Amino acid sequence: MIEIPFTKMHGLGNSYIYVDAFQNVLKEEWLAPLARAISNQNTGIGSDGLILIHPSDKAEVGMRIFNKDGSEGQSCGNGLRCVAAYAVKQGIVSTPRCRIETKAGLTQAKVFQSSGDVSTVKIDMGLPLLNRRSIPMLGEDDASVISESFPIGPHTLEVTALFLGNPHAVFFVDDINCAPLQEVGSIVTNDLRFPERVNVEFVEIINSKELNFRVWERGSGITEACGTGACAAVVASILNGFVLPDHEITVHLSGGDLTIRWAANGHVWMMGPAEFTAKGIFYWKV
Q: Compute mean pLDDT per 10 residues along the chain, 286 residues long, and list them.
A: 96 96 94 97 96 97 97 95 96 96 95 82 97 94 93 90 97 96 95 97 97 96 95 98 95 97 97 96 92
Domain count of the fold of the chain: 2
pLDDT at residue number 120:
93
Burial of 103 (0-12, 13-18, 19+ CB in 10 A): middle
Catalytic residue, candidates 76, 82, 98, 231: 76
CA 82/CA 118 separation, integer angstroms:
10
Count of all residues that appear for the chain in the document = 286
Cα 213 to chain centroid, rounded = 13
- Which candidate in 82, 98, 226, 231 is catalytic? 226
Q: Which pLDDT score is estimated for 228?
A: 96
Q: Is residue 59 part of a domain?
A: yes
Same domain, yes or no, for 146 and 34?
no
140 and 118 belong to one structural domain:
no
- Same domain (yes/no): 155, 223: yes
Q: How confident is the model at residue 156, as a pLDDT?
A: 87
Catalytic residue flag (residue 76): yes
CB 236 within 8 A of CB 162: yes
Range of the structural domain that residue 70 is part of: 2-122+273-284
- At 237 the three-state DSSP class reads helix
Residues 115 and 141 in one domain: no
Q: Are the beta carbons of 26 and 40 closer than 8 angstroms?
A: no
Question: What Cα–Cα distance (Å) separates residue 104 from each residue in 73, 139, 167, 209, 283?
Answer: 9, 22, 11, 28, 31
116 with 136, same domain: the answer is no
